[in-house]
Structure 1
Amino acid sequence: MLVAIDPRTGRSIREVQTADADEVDAALTAAADAQPAWNDLGFEGRGRVLRAVAAYLRENVDELAPLMTDEMGKPMKEALGEVEKAAWCAEHYADNAEDYLAPQTLESDATHSYVQHLPLGTVLGILPWNAPFWLALRFAAPALMAGNTCIMKPDPHVPGCAQAIDEVFARAGAPVGVFLSLLIETPDVADVIRDPRIQAVSFTGSDKGGSAVASIAASEIKPAVLELGGSDPSIVLADADLDAAADTITLSRIINAGQSCIAAKRIIIEDAVYDEFVEKLRERLAKLTVGDPREMSTDVGPIARDDLRQNLHRQVTETVAAGARCLLGGELPEGDGFFYPVTLLADVTNEMVAGCEETFGPIMVTMKASDSEHALALANDTEYGLAASVWTTRERGEELAARIQAGQVSVNGIVKTDPRLPSGGIKRSGYGRELGPHGIHEFVNAQQVWVGPKQG
């Protein structure tokens, strides 16, 4: 049984029966059987379905967004935006997949030689709870437009969202089997990965979970894309626009109550402006409203689960015990729900818990750097490598970006995912890319074709 708990109250709001073995087998068969005809629709036919998905999402945003607010505590104003972003993703690939996957002519000794991009079959997406609609479309839209069918294994804590996404595709006219949610317990996913009807795997989640998925996929010689955790640095140098940097870093840190892999987590500030910038952050964080995620005035909702909240508090208390200063928050609140206050920790080092572990919540960590080289060294001193940002002049920012060990870097802007641009990490943050032209190429057969006769 999958049980959804409202993190605002801590009470169960939905129970969904898990799929049994026969239902799992039927889903895998349906996806495999649907794939050839889905591919035969071509880019135009597949695009019509994805555009209908986008239209349905937009037309029903007021019914879909509250599911996220109820099941994982996303503030309503962010939930509405997430549904719109999911629609944009579907639309983007409907409009651009054909160009992204156009055959590539390569000169050789053939009369004509080229690479064409063919679907693999059925792709399994194993997804987390923190952005149910966006991550579903981020996974599915490029894979579907490439001619694959998709099976989504959602996080067990958001079953209502998963059922709604299934309905979106059905109402949009997607053929049976093209997109299916598989409501199973997490331990049961290993057998699905191993099933010969699954040709590739996309996983978003923790590095521990990603390691397990990657091991199983590798044992079956199946390609995988992993988007894992991060301890993402934001470097702020003395020549930055400090107010713009403080505004953006604050937003980046508290989106989804800080429960985002690419949120700014370690704010590394040049010594000359450290005290000034920390105070700017404190002022902005102090103004945020923590409360009922159903209210449009709420900036920060609850943590999705109590075990996550307890771990967050452990990270704060251990970091303060190691010598960090707590300038804001840091106390576990009483009352219903899984709320945690916006917290600012100063004078943190990479040896402290909040400096080396991923902090998944509204905790901002500041570190002091003597200069840009020291800041760069601190930024790279982590086992993660997902995303980063740099605040300085454009020229210095671009120079530093090439030296930052991360899959994506923003110079004087917020780190975000965008259907037009590739996203992914290095080191323990994963491998492979999602989105953009690079993402759609992850789950295709780049088939070389040599046409004779041989030329002299």
Structure 2
Amino acid sequence: MRTVNPTTNEELRTYDLDSAAAVEGTLDRAADGFVAWRETPITDRQERVAAIADVLRENLEEYAALMTREMGKPLDQSRGELEKCAWVCEFYAEHAAEFLQDDHVGVHPEATTKVAYEPLGPLVAVMPWNYPFWQVLRVAAPTLAAGNVMLLKHAPNVTGCAKTIEAVLDDAGFPDGVFQTLVVEPETIHDVIADDRVAAVTLTGSTRAGSAVAETAGKHLKPSVLELGGSDPFVVLDDAPIDRAVDVGVDARTKNNGQACIAAKRFIVVDDVYDEFRDAFVDAMADLTVGDPTDPATDVGPMARDDLLDELDQQVKETVDAGADVVLGGEPLDRDGNFYPPTVLENVPGDAPAACDELFGPVASLFRVPDEAAAVALANDTEYGLGASVWTSDDARAERVAGELEAGAVFANDLVQSHPRLPFGGVKRSGYGRELGEQGIKAFTNEKTVWLSPPDGLD
């Protein structure tokens, strides 16, 4: 595995792939580790999860710099990601026992009937590069607190982050075999998922990758959770707070260099306020500084890999060839590194990539619609359904429209985001299952019905 600094395209480090024997040893340690870890009192497991937060904060600057070197996000955003990781660990350290306590259900006055939540076993987590610490720890915190163990297959370009996360959990006192990293090619992970020692799988990534992993998991009858791509609509109605919508919209499209599954991608604006929103939005996008992500003045850093830059450039070119207009940006910057500028497209045809596909970079597509009904229809006219936002000054209208939007999460007058206390996931081709919240910790448990009748039976 080779990691490259996307700001300079200079090689950072190479890592040896795990041999077949090494993978076999990792699976054995996971199986053995699970036997002991599931019997560890949950209070002890919670203490270890809480200790992750301590290690992260003690080494925050070191880990943030690593993240920025490997995938290019602005350094301050790397710090913010680590703080959020510490938060999710503290959340499950506080609430895991509460979430996993038995649910007692009254069925018969002489019987004890309950639902118990028991761990399944080793979990394979296939994780992406765009939030290299958060994506892993938002799964690891609840999974490990619940008594499962975890095998991480991270994206190759953030292998350094993967190795560091493993070291973090070691420093936090987790026993051998509870959290391990696999450095393997993508095709190898299917053999790992199929292995009898593996109980379940979770993936965050592209729809194509999710479909392949789901096929393998389904063939072997193993539960899976998939958090896949998105083409989130950002719906601006005629009574929207335009100034705030513009500010949040720019952030929603360019945060993490535009490389987020829940980034706002399709800006659907009703005709009455389209020109006002468009002009302010374009000006705000043009004011962003593109540059070295270690520079505090930088708003947008490089794309994480050169192939991702090429793919985004091709999607924009195809959209323009189909008839769209470039209002701002529209081509890679002529400098070292994988830099693509904040870009705004309008008059996007309905069959163009910017309307149909996920553009994973700082490219916003504007759509003018006549009214609310047309806005909702266009927002739902996609194969994706991860997040959505609606902008209006009317609370009742916001709640009604939120109910009409087809997505796993809808935010009114705010940025679509994941939150430790709330379930997170998508519908349609954005995946299935939920992470975070109470739902996230129960996702990989056996919801076991327990019925205890007295020795002499029930009357």
Q: Shared fold (TM-score greater than 0.5)?
A: yes
Number of matched residues?
455
Gaps of 5+ in 1: none
Greater mean alpha carbon deviation, residues 340-349 or residues 437-446? 340-349
- Structure 2 SS opposite 1:65: helix
**2:260 partner letter:** S
Q: 1:111-260 alignment to 2 at 5 Å?
A: 111-260=111-260
Measured against aligned partners, the alpha-carbon deviations of 1:153-172 in whole angstroms (never above 9, x if no partner) come to 11111111011101101111
> Counterpart of 2:147 in 1: which secondary structure?
coil
Instruction: Give the match for residue 86 of structure 1.
Output: 85
Letter in 1 for 2:435: E
Q: Are 1:438 and 2:439 matched, yes or no?
A: yes
Q: Moved runs in structure 1, 4+ residues, more than 6 A?
A: none
Q: Distance in 2 between matches of 1:400 and 1:351?
A: 25
Find the counterpart in structure 1 of residue 262 from structure 2: 262
Is residue 287 of structure 2 the alignment partner of residue 287 of structure 1?
A: yes
**Match runs of 1:3-402 below 5 Å:** 3-109=2-108, 111-392=111-392, 393-402=394-403
CA-CA distance at 1:187 after TM superposition? 1.4
Given that residues 350 and 381 in structure 1 are in contact (C-alpha distance below 8 angstroms), is that contact kept between their aligned partners in structure 2? no
Asked if 1 retains the 8 angstrom alpha-carbon contact of 2:329 and 2:341, the reply is yes
Aligned partner of 1:380: which letter? Answer: N
- For 2:384 and 2:131, the matched residues in 1 are separated by 21
Which amino acid counterpart does residue 151 of structure 2 have in structure 1? I
Deviation at 1:106, TM superposition (A): 1.4
Query: 2: CA distance between counterparts of 1:347 and 1:273?
Result: 16
Displacement after TM superposition at 1:108 (Å): 1.6
In structure 2, the residue matched to 1:407 is 408
Percentage of identical aligned residues: 48
Cα distance in 2 for partners of 1:247, 1:218 equals 43
Q: Aligned to 2:411, what secondary structure does the other structure show?
A: strand
2:24, 2:93 → 1: CA distance? 30
Matching of residue 428 in structure 1 with residue 426 in structure 2: no
Is residue 387–residue 408 contact of structure 2 (8 Å, CA) maintained in 1? yes
| SS of aligned partner of 1:385 | coil
SS of residue paired to 1:307: helix
- The two structures, once aligned, show a CA RMSD in angstroms of 1.0
Where in structure 2 are there 5+ consecutive unaligned residues? none
TM-score (norm 2): 0.98
CA contact (8 A) 1:349 1:367 kept: no
CA deviations 1:172-206 (Å, max 9, x no partner) are: 11111111111111111111000111100000000
Looking at structure 2, the residues matched to 107 and 402 of structure 1 have their Cα atoms a distance apart, in angstroms, of 33
Partner of 2:115, secondary structure, is strand
401-410 vs 312-321, greater mean Cα deviation? 312-321
Cα drift, residue 100 of structure 1: 1.2
Structure 1 window deviating more from structure 2 (224-233 vs 314-323): it is 314-323
Cα distance in structure 1, aligned partners of 2:349 and 2:439: 35
1:455 Cα deviation from its structure 2 partner:
4.3
| Cα deviation digits, residues 386-440 of structure 1 (max 9, x gap) | 1100101221111111111110000111100111110000111000000001111
